[in-house]
Amino acid sequence: MEYILASASPRRKELLSQILNKFEVIPSCADEKVNISLFPEQMACALAESKCDAVFALHPNTTVIGCDTVVVFGKEVLGKPKDKTDAVKTLKMLSGKTHYVITGVCVRNRFKKVVDFDRTEVKFNILTDEFIQNYVNSGSPMDKAGSYGIQDGGIVKEYFGSYTNVVGLPVTLAQKLIKEVISDI
């Protein structure tokens, strides 16, 4: 059975390698426009499904894993920052506060498709302006939902739920969905 990760994220690739020995990485070119009327969980799942479906359409004899992560603060859904100014604004907004990270995961092959999500509660440390500026200037937040990586030191005070979900691929959920899809073969 061939597997494909429909993501360019090096973090997702690293996490998926914890549960699959061999897979190919083919980033999805699916449109990442979101339906803002959806709940955040539905939004993450719809985006993950869209990415998975786009790659599966080109590789129908494989099992494809697609993911999408959103950060939810209050009623606002935060994606990747548009630029450095947006990243600074987001980090200042999240400083010292609690938010949720939701990752949708879709796994499909020609026999079955399953979609689910994981949610983790995350509390930030209080971040100084100097810390935020240095972090943003490092470039690290620019490709991450919520403008941060939990694996980057000094940002997260505590979290409740899956650490790997916050990194971008909830490993336990992905493993469960992969088993569910391939059990039908």
Residues classed as catalytic = 68
* Residue with the two structure tokens 């200037």: 137
In the 8-state DSSP scheme, what is residue 169?
Answer: -
Q: Containing H/E element for 4?
A: strand 3-5
Q: Give yes or no for a contact between 68 and 51, defined as CB atoms under 8 angstroms apart.
A: yes
Q: Give yes or no for a contact between 10 and 162, defined as CB atoms under 8 angstroms apart.
A: no
Cα dihedral value 59, 61, 62, 63, nearest 10: 110
Q: How long is the chain? A: 185
